[in-house]
Amino acid sequence: MTSPDTEKLHLTTKLAYGAGDFGPAIAANILVFYLLFFFTNVAGLPPGLAGSILMIGKISDAINDPIVGILSDKTRTRWGRRLPWILGGMIPFALFYSLQWIIPQFSNDLSANRWGLFAYYVFIGILFNIAYTTVNLPYTALTPELTQDYNERTSLNSFRFSFSIGGSILSLILYILASIAYPDDPQTRFFILGLSCSILGIIALLWCSLRIQEKGREPILNLTQKKQVGMVLTGVSILGIIYAILRLIPATSTFLGGSGNIDYISFFSILSSLLLLGFGCSLLFAQVEEHLVGQEAKQIRQDNQEQTDLSFFQQLKIVFNNRPFLFVIGIYLCSWLAVQLTASILVYFVVSYMNLGEDTSGLVALAVQGTALIMLFLWQAVCQKLDKKIVYFMGTGIWIIAQIGLFLLQPEQVTLMFILAIMAGFGVSVAYLIPWSMVPDVIELDELETGQRREGVFYAFMVLLQKFGLALGLFLVGVVLEAAGFVEQIPGEPIPTQPETALLAIRIAVAPLPAIILIVGLVLAYFYPITREVHAEIRLKLKEKHQGEREQL
């Protein structure tokens, strides 16, 4: 069998694509780890009410996904189907994210004020999730359009999740520094944190949308414009780095409001400037991807646009008749349900069970995400030799051991807690890399069987079911905590001591429950049918099909 043509991508393309997940990741990571805690221990909401807010937000988010997916598939612009959605959604994304971290006062009556806060957070959460979907879903659907090469897709996703995990790590560092800067003012801490993440998100999304080019379409900026914008951004980033360095030098720091040590403002200045520097350099050194602009790419794009549109229910039927796709959905759901259940309850575990400070929860999360980032490159290299599902087995097996260890952990075993966090990072990295690397393969199988390209629909339904599962899981966590007698913190008061029943509920939610879910994911991965050889055969048949169709014209 002849190998299909390779479609290698330039480094600047991979960097820009990876940056597209930095913005959503740096925002979403703080939501995952601290939004439930913010509701109960800063805004003063009962855990049941807080869990309901998260559930409503996730359900609304899930409903948005297939709608935006179908609309983006049908979008027709000179720049393509996905990039206009990213550009149009980034400002609302940043605005509504920032508004989630304020605590308005609706009434002096505690009960009435709680219901006012409930309504406010539900409303803002729904609007934020709509904006999040408009930037994130079209972004994820770009993967199969940029390259069809099996190994190159894994490489592309490794860049994506390097930025994703890197954003998660940096957001945790920002949280730790914000906790140091505002130790007795959590309201200001979370608002500053939310605003900073919004700014970083806009920079990253602009980087992706202004550098990436969709197959068979024009780039938003031509090469000349990219170099001009790149020069400006590079200059601005250098000034920002100089400002941050001067804040760290004792002799000059006092003139700029600094203390001569690394603080929140200095770190944010360095981070945003480095992001702008990468943005500028990727535009300065941008190169044209020949396989995205050639006549064959334009013809494939034209063929896809001329295909007959299907109704929502017809597309739903086709999606769920794709057997490998159902396995991918299940693997993804199990992986991320385990991640988000552990993440949402981790701060309670560290503070209430381990009797440590809030900033320590950031360090534990940092150990998980830091290990995941390092392991991402190792797993990506292993994927060049082994099938994706074998890599998933290897990482998830270590992860399950770590989850079980957390349940057996005793409050005085702080060092062991960090060791288990590092072990969990081995598995979290495959949760990032493997399911999303499988989706493009499934999409090409669907194209071979149906003759249509529906990236947006597949990505939308994958995320839809995942979010319904997460909505139910987060809601149950809140309800179980409240039923177990969890005592929410009154704003301005010390963190209360939790009863033994609440501590047991926290331990179960952080350890054995995610472990059981991961075992289900392993079973599904075992039966996933698309191997490296099967994918190569799919690509060859697609190439022959496209050539045959063009010869008939």
**218-239, pLDDT tens digit by residue?**
788 888 888 999 999 999 999 9
Residue 149 makes CB contacts below 8 A (sequence gap 6+) with 4, 6, 7, 8
For the chain, what are the domain ranges?
8-214, 312-552
Query: Would you say the C-alpha torsion 148, 154, 155, 159 has a positive or negative sign?
Result: positive
Tokens matching residue 300? 């494939």
**2: pLDDT confidence band, cut at 50, 70 and 90?**
very low
Per-residue model confidence (pLDDT) at position 274: 94
Mean pLDDT, residues 151-164 taken together: 79
Per-residue model confidence (pLDDT) at position 382: 86
Mean pLDDT, residues 169-191 taken together: 88
CA 211 to chain centroid, in Å, comes to 20
| Of 204, 206, 217, nearest in space to 160 by CA | 204
Mean pLDDT, residues 508-527 taken together: 88
Per-residue model confidence (pLDDT) at position 476: 72
- What percentage of the chain exceeds 70 in pLDDT? 85
Per-residue model confidence (pLDDT) at position 276: 94
Secondary structure class of 461 (helix, strand, coil)? helix
Contact indicator for 9, 456 with CB cutoff of 8 Å: no
Tokens matching residue 17? 């694509």
**139: pLDDT confidence band, cut at 50, 70 and 90?**
confident
**116: pLDDT confidence band, cut at 50, 70 and 90?**
very high
Per-residue model confidence (pLDDT) at position 4: 45
**246-278, pLDDT tens digit by residue?**
888 887 877 777 777 788 888 999 999 999 999
pLDDT exceeds 70 at position 493: no
Per-residue model confidence (pLDDT) at position 206: 93
CA distances from 280 to 12, 34, 204, 232 (A): 11, 32, 11, 7
Which amino acid belongs to residue 359?
D
141 vs 23 pLDDT, higher one:
23
Per-residue model confidence (pLDDT) at position 249: 84
Distance CA(238)–CA(252), nearest Å, equals 18
Which amino acid belongs to residue 254?
T
Terminal Cα-to-Cα distance of the chain (whole angstroms): 27
Tokens matching residue 383? 């994927």
Least confident range from 73-77, 213-217, 300-304: namely: 300-304
One-letter-per-residue 3-state SS of 83-142: HHHHHHHHHHHHHHHHHCCCCCCCCCCHHHHHHHHHHHHHHHHHHHHHHHHHHHHHHHCC
| Of 430, 432, 427, nearest in space to 399 by CA | 427
**5-20, pLDDT tens digit by residue?**
556 788 888 899 999 8
Which amino acid belongs to residue 147?
T
Please determine whether the domains at 8-214 and 312-552 fall in the same fold group of CATH: yes
For 8-214, CATH gives 1.20.1250.20
Per-residue model confidence (pLDDT) at position 27: 87
Per-residue model confidence (pLDDT) at position 431: 82
* φ, ψ for residue 104, nearest 5 deg: -70, 150
pLDDT exceeds 60 at position 3: no
CATH of 312-552, one of 1.10.10.10, 3.40.50.970, 2.40.128.110, 1.20.1250.20: 1.20.1250.20
Per-residue model confidence (pLDDT) at position 314: 67
pLDDT exceeds 90 at position 313: no
**200: pLDDT confidence band, cut at 50, 70 and 90?**
very high
Burial class of residue 138, CB neighbours in 10 A (0-12, 13-18, 19+): buried
* φ, ψ for residue 278, nearest 5 deg: -60, -40
CA distances from 476 to 49, 116, 314, 406, 520 (A): 11, 22, 33, 20, 19
Phi-psi label, residue 216: left if phi above 0, alpha if psi -120 to 50, beta otherwise: left
Among 56-60, 155-159, 277-281, name the most confident range: 277-281
Per-residue model confidence (pLDDT) at position 456: 63
